[in-house]
Amino acid sequence: MADPRFFRAAGPFTVGEVARATGCEIGGAARTDLVLDDVAPLETAGPSHLSFLANPRYGEAFAASSAGAVCVLSAAVAEAPSGATLLISSDPYRAFARAARLFYPATPVEPGIASSAVIAETARIGDAVAIGHHAVIEAGAEIGAGTSIGIGSVVGAGVVIGADCRIAAHVTLSHCLIGDRVTLYPGVRIGQDGFGFAPGRGGHEKVPQLGRVIVEDDVEIGANATIDRGALPDTTIGAGSMIDNLVQIGHNVVIGRGCVLVAQTGISGSTRLGDFVMVGGQGGLAGHLTIGDGARIGAKSGVMRDIPPGTTVGGIPAVPVVQWHRQTAMLERLVKKKDKQP
């Protein structure tokens, strides 16, 4: 059971109720009336718990699990532990996500403005907004209905935030327009100057950064991530993109819709990502590149050239992933061969 100090459980729910909420088919032991009172990992789940199998790596844990019900692919039915009711889905992780939200609904925002918050007279605050202690909303800023602003966060002059956003504590926003249903985690910095200057031995000369950051709807941005505003054009984060902790996004970068940038990734200035691009952890992209729709960039890769749509790359400098694996294998082989020489 999730720690009640931090989470409030709804439920219990029957297997039938969970199947309806998640769109799953019922299989295995198929006890539709089985009462489930919680979600749990395969290893620790008991007879009244719902679990899931999404990664084949955990097949053994599945076979040995005591879970009352498990969200699975139809392909996994054969390996199910006897007694388990199966909730069969073409996307069992998504089904589990919905079930988990049934058991643990998101905490609703409690509207209200903390006494210590500082709100400029010209700021416009929507209905049912929550503003935490020590937050500061500067002149001309706008905050949409149902949005919450965390403790100590700063919404700079003129910044626009849409409806139903969750802005955590200690966030700094300036020179940006934020869409609806955006989630910003603690310590996110958006809209500060890009790293733009004319270098020179007599002194680097700062170039005024005159663009903005546009964050479209349904975006998530992880803790302590940094997104600089554009130099002249805007920096843009496309709708539904998921950005992990400590990611850096340079000025003028355009991220398409539904992209996934894993932690500590860095995207240099003026690079453009298409839709549904995926970058693994600590990935790095040089500036002024074009990355096609659906491209996948391996963790720790260093991308120095444009990438065509749908391509998977890896390595430093990044090459098509098959080539990268061959290079790696080749090096290994050469070293072994040398070892065998007398």
**Binding positions for a copy of itself, 273-302, rule CB under 8 A:** 276, 281-282, 284, 286, 288, 299-300, 302
Number of residues written out for the chain: 342
Site string for a copy of itself, 189-208 (x = CB under 8 A): x--xx-x-xxxxx-xxxxxx
Pick from 161, 212, 221, 254 the residue near a copy of itself by CB under 8 A: 212
Residues within window 19-38 making contact with a copy of itself, judged by CB under 8 A = none
CA 12 – CA 35 distance, rounded (Å): 6
Pick from 25, 79, 127, 332 the residue near a copy of itself by CB under 8 A: 332
Check binding of 222 to a copy of itself (CB under 8 A).
yes
> Coil, strand or helix: which one is 93?
helix
CA 60 – CA 197 distance, rounded (Å): 56
Instruction: Decide if 263 contacts 243 (C-beta within 8 A).
Output: no
Instruction: Single out the segment in contact with a copy of itself by CB under 8 A; choices: 24-32, 59-67, 77-85, 93-101.
Output: 93-101
| Nearest to a copy of itself of 82, 183 (CB atom) | 183
Check binding of 180 to a copy of itself (CB under 8 A).
no
Instruction: Decide if 265 contacts 286 (C-beta within 8 A).
Output: no
**Cβ 219 to a copy of itself, closest distance in Å?**
10
**Cβ 178 to a copy of itself, closest distance in Å?**
13
- Give which of 267, 276, 266, 293 is closest to 239, Cα–Cα: 276
251 is catalytic: yes
> Measured between alpha carbons, how far is residue 73 from residues 70, 81, 162, 236 in Å?
10, 14, 37, 36
Sign for the CA dihedral angle at 214, 217, 222, 224 comes to: positive
**Cβ 324 to a copy of itself, closest distance in Å?**
9
Active-site residue set? 251
